[in-house]
Amino acid sequence: MGETKLIKGTYGYIDKWKKSKQAVIALWVIFIGALFLIPAAIMGTRYNAFTVAAIVMVLPAARQAVQYFAMMGFHSGRQDEYEKIAALTEGKTWMVLAADMVLASESGHMVLNMLVICNGNIYGYAPKQKKSREAIEAYLANLLMEADISHKRPVVHESFEEFEEMVMMLAANEPSTPAEAGTIFAGLKANCM
């Protein structure tokens, strides 16, 4: 049986998150419908406390629906591409590989299909974005600045081949003093949906 827990930064997170959110929304619809219809059928009137409770329950259900609609246009990246990069980073303690990162900003969402954190810098792969590559790099640079690593400049690739070549180069050259990738990854996860 596959793992059902959702973990940000793992491959398939976006698609699993959307499926779980659909199930939650369906449960809310059933619950609110039952809370409204069953007491109305038993009491013969909709003017009761259960109707008020059903109306109030629409607010948390709407919150779930808004979250789903915000993510509806995003999908997990290709599995074959992820497996190629995972093979390159496997066993490399100075590198962190993350996938399906949906970064939320004031100006909208951006999706990084994959990113590698190495030597205090972020190398990302973000094809087919509404945001420009420069806007994504600026957002990541701001995150690095917040982590007091402002001397690094993130690199985002739109081509998988270019991203793969970059990761091959990073995997072949172990840094002499690797920077803490876990702190940067934790900061990214905190800004993800």
Q: Is the pLDDT of residue 2 over 60?
A: no
3-state secondary structure 163-192: HHHHHHHHHHCCCCCCCCHHHHHHHHHHCE
Question: Is there a single domain that holds both residue 88 and residue 61?
Answer: no
Residue 161 lies in a domain: yes
Per the domain annotation, does 103 fall within a domain?
yes
Task: State the total domains in the chain.
Answer: 2
Does the structure show a pLDDT above 60 at 1? no
Q: What is the mean pLDDT of residues 35-49?
A: 88
Please give the residue range of the domain that contains residue 67.
13-71
Question: Which pLDDT band, with edges at 50, 70 and 90, does 107 fall under?
Answer: confident
How confident is the model at residue 23, as a pLDDT?
A: 96
- Is the same domain home to 86 and 160? yes
Same domain (yes/no): 137, 118: yes
Q: How far apart are the first and last CA of the chain?
A: 26
Q: Is the dihedral of CA 85, 90, 96, 102 positive or negative?
A: positive
Q: Single out the residue in 39, 71, 103 at which a domain terminates.
A: 71
Which residues are bridge partners to 102 per DSSP? 111
